Structure 1
Amino acid sequence: MQETPYDFEAGAILLLDKPLTWTSFDVVKKTKFALRIKKIGHAGTLDPLATGLLIMCTGKFTKRIEEIQAQEKEYTGTFVLGHTTPSFDLETEIDSTAPIDYLTPEAIQEAADSFLGEIDQTPPIYSAVKVNGERAYTLARRGDTAEIKSKRITIKQFELTAIEGNQVHFKVVCSKGTYIRSLARDLGEKLGCGAYLSKLVRTRIGEYRLEDAMSLDQLQELRKKQQAHYDRHPGA
């Protein structure tokens, strides 16, 4: 973490490492309270079961949110082959199982390669996409069905970094709007065995990287240090 001086109220771009199970809105609320500021927003939602880079913009830099979230994203994580869940991740229970003993690493890599470039992708029903004015996840948790339109996205890189039994570890570089959970579903369908996402970490948005991010505790400590400095040196 770099202890760069920030003027949180006037405007700053903050790189945070989102904790597991927190929603992106949870992080916004916690950050707003910790910094005691009025204007704040995040540049690109992360699911509760994902961790990694979440960019917060305060003050005048909230005007840059759309610009930042439109940039290329990079993720690492793990798919589990041979099982599916309604949410395509661990939010819901496994609802189907299929054998995978016929699969080879070459076949899995070939299937992954087929997703490179511009593709049409349908977001998960358990997502924040709006359907007739309601969030899709609200409909899904209520047990309703909904037709979600596909979107054109770009997969620039889909690297399988390791295969351990039914677990496939990956790195993906993609465009805005890509759902890695949907990529898990589509890869599983392509292989004929099903798959779901068991782990996801966002490691980069454009030029902003996870290794430069700080925890919420570190951010709060940084604010305290800066306040102590200003108290000792008024007008600095």
Structure 2
Amino acid sequence: MEHADLTPAPAPAFDFEAGEVLLVDKPLTWSSFDVVRKVKNTLRIKKIGHAGTLDPLATGLLILCTGKKTKEIDQIQAQEKEYTGTFRLGQTTASFDLETPVDAELPYAHLTEEEIRAATAQFLGLITQTPPLFSAVKVNGERAYEVARRGGEAEIKSKQITIREFELTRIALPEVDFRVSCTKGTYIRSLARDFGAALGCGAHLTKLVRTRIGEYQLADALTMQAVEALRPPRPEGEAEQPRRQRRERLPERRAGLEYFNATHATSESPASEA
């Protein structure tokens, strides 16, 4: 009788300088740039970029391209994306998520499951959506979130997007879980706002996970711990950067999350530079 081969599978071989498409599971509160910077320094990659931003309060699939594969960033960004998450009915926030405090409360208990499910139909197909003020959209050469965080106002132009699938996977009021497949440029926070408005009770996004971009799946992504395990040995004679200097740069990366950090238990901060 033959015995199964129990030899561990070899670690994947990457050639980051020639070019790789690297799938990473972005941690909560990290910005997309936090991940890029950490991976770049950990793996000593000269040329790297990400194919589609995720908000700090979102987790899930972030695609990094290195070397010659950076030429594929636009192509990857243009592919359909899938998200899962949770809307909280009956409350609104200025950022449409947990970055800012609740600014209004409306009744929701009267809504039936049938009414809630029926409201998804108006968001399927080609629709017009207005991005949040708390977003990276540029207004007069400035990021909209910079205007918002200093208390300013800005006119955000609406745009057309396509939502191919909008499925409610759990209704446990005031929470509603969902799965959405959509085109590039869709803001799920705006969908939360608009869905709540359609129901007449308001809503905001409390959880978001990107599970797919095109054929790339979150299930195949590396955690940041797995990325750390790929770290090449430090060249002989090269001194390690003092930890105190590395930590001093962390607070600026978490700008805009003061309210969330003050009211929620968060994941670990972006790891210090390699």
TM range (shorter): over 0.9
| Counterpart pick for 1:128 among 119, 127, 136 | 136
Q: Are 2:196 and 1:188 equivalent residues in the alignment? A: yes
Q: Are 2:169 and 1:150 equivalent residues in the alignment? A: no
Secondary structure at 1:114 match in 2: helix
CA distance in structure 2 between the aligned counterparts of 1:191 and 1:34, rounded to whole angstroms: 47
The one-letter amino acid paired with 1:151 is: K
| Counterpart pick for 2:98 among 78, 90, 104 | 90
| Alpha-carbon distance, 1:2 to partner | 8.6
CA distance in structure 2 between the aligned counterparts of 1:179 and 1:77, rounded to whole angstroms: 13
Q: Are 2:27 and 1:19 equivalent residues in the alignment? A: yes
| Alpha-carbon distance, 1:223 to partner | 4.0
Cα deviation code 1:57-95 (max 9, x no counterpart): 000000000000100000000000000000000000000
Matches within 5 A, 1:23-172: 23-172=31-180
Question: 4+ residue stretches of structure 1 with deviation over 6 A?
Answer: none
Q: 1:139 to 1:15 in 2, by over 3 A?
A: same
Secondary structure at 2:226 match in 1: helix
Larger Rg: 2
Write 1 or 2 for the structure with the bigger share of strand.
Answer: 1
| Alpha-carbon distance, 1:220 to partner | 2.4
Is the contact made by 1:2 and 1:212 (CA closer than 8 Å) also made in structure 2? no
The one-letter amino acid paired with 1:212 is: D
Note the residue ranges of structure 1 that are not aligned, 5 or more in a row: 228-236
Is the contact made by 2:43 and 2:232 (CA closer than 8 Å) also made in structure 1? no
CA distance in structure 2 between the aligned counterparts of 1:28 and 1:200, rounded to whole angstroms: 20
Counterpart in 2 of 1:199? 207
The one-letter amino acid paired with 1:211 is: A
Cα deviation code 1:86-141 (max 9, x no counterpart): 00000000000000122111111111111000000000000000000000000000
Counterpart in 1 of 2:268? none
CA distance in structure 2 between the aligned counterparts of 1:206 and 1:155, rounded to whole angstroms: 14
Secondary structure at 2:102 match in 1: coil
| Alpha-carbon distance, 1:222 to partner | 2.7
TM-score by length of structure 1 reads: 0.93
Question: RMSD between aligned alpha carbons?
Answer: 1.5
The one-letter amino acid paired with 1:90 is: L
Cα deviation code 1:24-74 (max 9, x no counterpart): 000010010011111000000000000000000000000000000100000
Q: 1:195 to 1:2 in 2, by over 3 A?
A: farther
| Alpha-carbon distance, 1:216 to partner | 1.7
Secondary structure at 1:127 match in 2: coil
Q: 1:6 to 1:122 in 2, by over 3 A?
A: same
Counterpart in 2 of 1:222? 230
The one-letter amino acid paired with 1:78 is: T
CA distance in structure 2 between the aligned counterparts of 1:118 and 1:81, rounded to whole angstroms: 24
CA distance in structure 2 between the aligned counterparts of 1:166 and 1:113, rounded to whole angstroms: 20
Note the residue ranges of structure 2 that are not aligned, 5 or more in a row: 1-8, 236-274
Counterpart in 2 of 1:230? none
Is the contact made by 1:28 and 1:56 (CA closer than 8 Å) also made in structure 2? yes
